[in-house]
Structure 1
Amino acid sequence: MGESNRSGQVLVMVSFWWSRGDELANHQLGQILTRAECLDGEITDAAAVDRALRAVGDEPTLVAELDEWWQMVAARRNDNTTQNPGLSLGSSIRYLTDRLDADRVTPKSIEECRRQIAALDTQIVSAKDLPELAHPDAEMLTLLTRYMEARSRVLAITST
């Protein structure tokens, strides 16, 4: 029973750190699960990852490798549990621009945009030391640029 409990704890931690969106680490996880013939889809597919982790079971060697993986990810991210901002920036930018491009921009919609900006700013500041922002790729830089443009539009409206 103890081995099953340990296995369960490891798999929960793997799932948690996978969900943080560290693309390099998740690529490594995909290689581990593919080599073990557990992954039947893409490492970016939550359902495929969930099925793969359930298929791991109590296989001691694989559980040990996954245990090492999540600990490596936690160390790589300095135990910062903030999710990769790139996972939500695109939808947040669409949310902001949809509100700003509406036929009628209301005080309520501006207030919603300000709340969204506050949440995003907090997330970005929390993630500033993570690999995704410390060494951003072209996609992340594009997202940040688009976010700053949308953010500026909201702030320009609220200051008038």
Structure 2
Amino acid sequence: MMGELATASRVHVMVSYWWSRGDGLANHQLGQILTRAAGVDEVNITDPQSIDRALRIAVADPTVLAELDQWWQMVETRRDGNNTRNPGLGLEQSIRYLTDRLDAGTITPEGLGECRRQVAAVDQTITSATDLPELVHPDAQMLDLLARYLEARSRVLALA
């Protein structure tokens, strides 16, 4: 009994962790597993509370527990152990942050410093994710986000 609880707990944590990395294809698969296991119409795969509730139900079923255990290991393998989040998840906010600052008119040296730190952080995230599925095989939305980011990034760097 204790071993089953430990396994269920470990699987719950690992599935939550790899879900949070934002691998769209893998998370779609997870949504199908959880929807089937939770007996609901559809689990909201983008909502952490919905995922957590569905996982609590799912890990109680030994068959689904085994399927979820395989799922997180598959995602870890698919991402080659790289735990960098999908860079597309925060890119929209970063672009908005940079363009809001740049479009505000005069930019102070402090504001420029903040923009440069934002660019450095986003660059690091993108560099860390270059081998991940989201950047190896980007979809149109990711390509659009990257193009918009490069434009905002260029505007920041031009203010040297």
TM-score over 0.5 for the alignment?
A: yes
Give, in whole Å, the separation in 2 of the partners of 1:107 and 1:28: 47
Q: Is the counterpart of residue 132 in structure 1 residue 134 in structure 2?
A: yes
The alpha carbon displacement at 1:29 in A equals 0.3
Residue pairs, 1:63-78, within 5 angstroms: 63-78=65-80
The alpha carbon displacement at 1:60 in A equals 1.2
Give, in whole Å, the separation in 1 of the partners of 2:50 and 2:93: 23
Give, in whole Å, the separation in 1 of the partners of 2:107 and 2:119: 16
Give, in whole Å, the separation in 1 of the partners of 2:39 and 2:52: 10
TM-score, normalization: structure 1? 0.95
Aligned-residue Cα RMSD (Å) equals 1.1
Give, in whole Å, the separation in 1 of the partners of 2:16 and 2:74: 14
- Superposed CA offset, 1:43-72 (max 9, x none): 111111011112224321111100000000
Q: Which runs of 5+ in 1 are unaligned?
A: none
Give, in whole Å, the separation in 1 of the partners of 2:121 and 2:148: 16
C-alpha contact 1:3 1:58 (8 A) present in aligned 2: no
TM-score, normalization: structure 2? 0.95
C-alpha contact 1:128 1:134 (8 A) present in aligned 2: yes
Residue pairs, 1:18-97, within 5 angstroms: 18-37=19-38, 41-97=43-99
Give, in whole Å, the separation in 2 of the partners of 1:67 and 1:37: 16
Give, in whole Å, the separation in 2 of the partners of 1:13 and 1:124: 23
- Superposed CA offset, 1:94-114 (max 9, x none): 000011111331110100010
Give the letter for the 2:19 counterpart: W
Give the letter for the 1:14 counterpart: V
Give, in whole Å, the separation in 2 of the partners of 1:136 and 1:153: 24
Give, in whole Å, the separation in 2 of the partners of 1:55 and 1:61: 12
**Runs of at least 4 residues off by over 4 Å:** none
The alpha carbon displacement at 1:37 in A equals 2.2
Q: Number of residues paired by the alignment?
A: 158
Residue 147 of structure 2 aligns to a residue whose secondary structure is helix
- The alpha-carbon distance between structure 1 residues 110 and 78, as it changes in their structure 2 partners (threshold 3 A), is same
The alpha carbon displacement at 1:20 in A equals 0.4
C-alpha contact 1:38 1:56 (8 A) present in aligned 2: no
- The alpha-carbon distance between structure 1 residues 7 and 38, as it changes in their structure 2 partners (threshold 3 A), is farther
2:122 counterpart residue number: 120
